[in-house]
Amino acid sequence: MKPKVKTYLQTFIFLAIGIFLIFWFLNKLSPAEKQEIWHYFLQANPLWMIIAMFIGIISHIFRALRWNLLIESVTKKPKIKNTFWAVMSGYLVNYAVPRLGEITRCALLGKKEKIAVDTVLGTMISERLFDVICYVIIFILAFVALTAKVIAFLDNYNKPTFISWQFALILLLAAILIVVAYKLWRKYKPNSKLGQKISDSIHRFIDGGKSIINLKKKGLFIVYSILIWVCYLLMTYFAFLTIDATYHLPIDAAFAVLALGTIGMIVIQGGIGVYPIIVSQVLILYGVDKVGGYALGWISWIIQTVIVLILGLIGFIILSKKNKYEQIPDFNK
């Protein structure tokens, strides 16, 4: 199968799954529940939505600043404005074709700043590697925090609590299987094209990790990373304040939504369809009915998507212009 056909097919399949999930979940709701969701949309507080969007934009600025640290450690330092627009352009492309956004933002920035695209790609791999590490930590913390919530939820419904440790046992067995599979892979690494691709990917991630170790401003890099996730958390929390169903929730509920909702964003481009469902299921543990949780999930998704669509389109236009026609002032001077 040709690469382009494979990419288009993959995009269509995941998008179709997202759309299917929307209709599947809505079909489970009664007319009254659908009307209630629409009521939440109409009553959503626009001020908190704007504040959440503003915080989301700040998170992307921190991401651009962090990426610049990686780039300047191997080549000349790009202008922050160009790095920011490249980040937003990449997010926009990812909404259409998963994973293509990473390559696109590197190509746009490399062309604009006259930096070798391969060099920029290497720094992007380093950045994504660190994001994976950060997310794994956040997911583990959220899982530990939610364990008590799950047990309490099961107790309220008179369900035996052994289900919780059975679930933990399944996770443990899955982790063991992953370790065993990795050991077997290292020992009997196949020579097939697929095996070689997987092996090359692993080596690229390892090389990316090494570039982070050699980073000059490690402290600032970590600070930016923390600020990015703090902004994500605050953006999620302020989305809670938009409707009455979630206005009262504590920030730890936002942390749980951030940790688990991110899975939806990873699995399907933009999280369309699946993100609101995950959010509604998480918020059930905090006493929010599925209608209120689903409405909040869509409001939170809209906040994130509007940022990407508007700023991503602007960034793509700006970075696609030839340098000799660029009239944008240099704020770095």
Q: What is the pLDDT of residues 78-131, one digit of tens each?
A: 899 999 999 999 998 888 777 778 888 988 998 888 888 777 887 888 888 888
Residue 140 corresponds to which tokens in the numbers above?
A: 């583990």
Q: What is the pLDDT of residues 144-201, one digit of tens each?
A: 777 766 666 555 554 444 444 444 555 566 566 666 666 665 665 555 565 666 666 5
Contact present, 155 and 161 (Cβ < 8 Å) = yes
Burial of 29 (0-12, 13-18, 19+ CB in 10 A): middle
Quote the pTM value. 0.75
Q: Mean pLDDT in the chain?
A: 78
Confidence category of residue 28, pLDDT binned at 50, 70, 90: low
Q: What number of residues does the chain have? A: 333
Give percent helix, percent strand, percent coil of the chain, each to the nearest 5.
80, 0, 20
The pLDDT score that the predictor gives to residue 160 is 44
Per-residue pLDDT at 132 exceeds 80? yes
Contact present, 110 and 255 (Cβ < 8 Å) = no
Burial of 292 (0-12, 13-18, 19+ CB in 10 A): buried
Confidence category of residue 234, pLDDT binned at 50, 70, 90: very high
Single-letter residue type at 265: M
The pLDDT score that the predictor gives to residue 67 is 93
Q: Give the closest residue to 81 by CA, choosing from 332, 261, 333.
A: 332
> Poorest-confidence range of 112-126, 164-178, 214-228, 255-269?
164-178
Per-residue pLDDT at 327 exceeds 50? no
Distance between CA 257 and CA 283 in Å, rounded?
A: 8
Residue 179 corresponds to which tokens in the numbers above?
A: 């370790």
Contact present, 273 and 22 (Cβ < 8 Å) = yes
